Structure 1
Amino acid sequence: MAEQAGTLRRAPLSRDRVLRAAVALADQAGIESLSMRNLAQDLGVVPMALYKHVANKDELLDGMIDVVVGEIDPPMPEVDWQIAVRARILSARKVLLRHPWAPLAIESRNMATPAVLAYLDSTIGILLAGGFTVDLAHHVMHALGSRVLGFSQELFDDARRAGRTGASEPQPPAPLPPEVAARFPHVAAIALAASHDDESVVGQGCDDQFEFEFALDLLLDGIERLRQQGWTSAAGHR
């Protein structure tokens, strides 16, 4: 094992090796632990050696995002648009679950990276090949939002809040005080739903994967209905 590690350390440094090591470090210790110094130490090089391959930490982060997005399955050929888009999005979700730091990293960028743009471009291509107008495809991408990349901005998401604040562990959802439950009985009913996924980011009583697919299928079914009706934004505004 020590011999293998030595061989890896002696392997020539490349941009791909730097990016993949950064992804592995973020997967293991969290994105907040990533620094050029820590990454250099992990690779067994001096920090200045990294700058031959990435100009700065922003470029490093962009490259890491592209590595992760590159793991998403390619589009399924010659299938109905709804099957193709659903499969692509669920593949994206599976990838981001392997890299839990990635959604916040993607959101933090001022401009989409090349791999993200290529992914979005191919998804729009699926819609257009499936009979969508550019007009409808435009609004569909707005409706899908971050879900098209495999994650959603949940209403009660302690894990994502923890990622922003640097907290080590997300706090479990607190029960509603009796007076609050009495004032807002419908919210209380949802909060008290039977728990079947204690790790869910949307609170007890919700299974993340089920909720994600449930909303995705609602959207895709509604989108197909609009496509069949020949929907246009001009008609939608009336």
Structure 2
Amino acid sequence: MPGAVSAPRSRRPRNSLTVDEILDVAERVASAGIETLTIRAVAAELESSPMALYRYFSTKEDLVDALLDRVLGRMEPPSESADWIQDLAAFARNHRDMLRRHQWAVTALFAHPAPGPNALPIGEWALQILARGGITGDTAVATFSGIVGLNYGWASFVVARSGGAGESLAEGLRGPDVAQAFPLTASVAGPMSRYGSAEHYDLVLGQLLAGISSQPDRDHTTE
């Protein structure tokens, strides 16, 4: 209707928000890319003012930490059996699956490795399993770091592979020039299409676990 004036957009009362509601929206915003997450963007989704969110999170970094801590809290605890290596494999896969379900959080977790209290149980689970295998102290820390490092690297592979990187890489290796200059690389063009696949992960994890289980000095501790 000509001359009609739309009603002004109302904002929510400042005290009507909850932490869980803010984090729900923040996760939805971050799922499009962690770089899109800002206090202003979350406030807009909530039809609130940025100042209302600052009552709960004084900075964007505080919001990111809370969101990442929430993600880490979703990791499934590993199963416990009579075989500590099987349990370590379960831990590794559960951690990998947690990262795979939250691909947007992988790069942020690099910058915020311990964003909150939910990071502590993850390390404790791994250390408990390693202690059952006689791996403690400095060796346990290095072993845990190696598993976590594998998973973060593999999660990055999965993100790249979701955009067709594996197939593109394989196709680029099939040219005659590549075959002549790099024959061994060209010969694995087919497997390169499975770059970052679950099958490749299981192969590499098995190799890592075989090395862990066979190391002779399991109780080495460095102060």
1:167-182 mapped onto 2 (5 Å cutoff): 172-173=168-169, 175-176=172-173, 177-182=175-180
Amino acid paired to 1:19: L
Q: Larger relative contact order (C-alpha < 8 A, sep ≥ 6)?
A: 2
Task: Give the alignment partner of residue 221 of structure 1, picking from 206, 210, 213.
Answer: 210
Note the residue ranges of structure 2 that are not aligned, 5 or more in a row.
1-11
Q: How does the TM-score come out when normalised to structure 2?
A: 0.76
Note the residue ranges of structure 1 that are not aligned, 5 or more in a row.
1-8, 163-168, 195-202
Cα deviation for residue 224 of structure 1 reads 0.8
CA contact (8 A) 2:85 2:209 kept: yes
Cα deviation for residue 66 of structure 1 reads 0.8
2:101 is aligned with 1:98: yes
Task: Give the alignment partner of residue 22 of structure 2, picking from 18, 25, 30.
Answer: 18
Aligned length: 204
Q: Over alpha carbons, which structure has the higher Rg?
A: 2
Change (3 A) 1:74 1:214: same
Cα deviation for residue 95 of structure 1 reads 2.2
| Distance in 2 separating the partners of 1:70 and 1:158 | 21
Q: How does the TM-score come out when normalised to structure 1?
A: 0.72
Please give the per-residue CA displacement for 1:171-196, whole angstroms capped at 9, x wherever unaligned: 63351343233111111112x225xx
| Distance in 2 separating the partners of 1:52 and 1:32 | 22
CA contact (8 A) 1:159 1:170 kept: no
Cα deviation for residue 157 of structure 1 reads 4.4
CA contact (8 A) 1:69 1:116 kept: yes
CA contact (8 A) 1:80 1:130 kept: no
Cα deviation for residue 72 of structure 1 reads 0.6
Task: Give the alignment partner of residue 35 of structure 2, picking from 24, 32, 37.
Answer: 32
RMSD of Structure 2 on Structure 1 (CA): 3.1
Change (3 A) 1:46 1:170: farther
Amino acid paired to 2:184: H
| Distance in 2 separating the partners of 1:183 and 1:233 | 46
Cα deviation for residue 135 of structure 1 reads 3.5
CA contact (8 A) 2:126 2:144 kept: no
| Distance in 2 separating the partners of 1:125 and 1:71 | 19
Task: Give the alignment partner of residue 85 of structure 1, picking from 59, 79, 88.
Answer: 88
2:152 is aligned with 1:151: yes
| Distance in 2 separating the partners of 1:161 and 1:46 | 38
Change (3 A) 1:74 1:136: same
1:118 maps to which residue? 121
| Distance in 1 separating the partners of 2:22 and 2:46 | 8
CA contact (8 A) 2:137 2:220 kept: no
Cα deviation for residue 206 of structure 1 reads 3.7
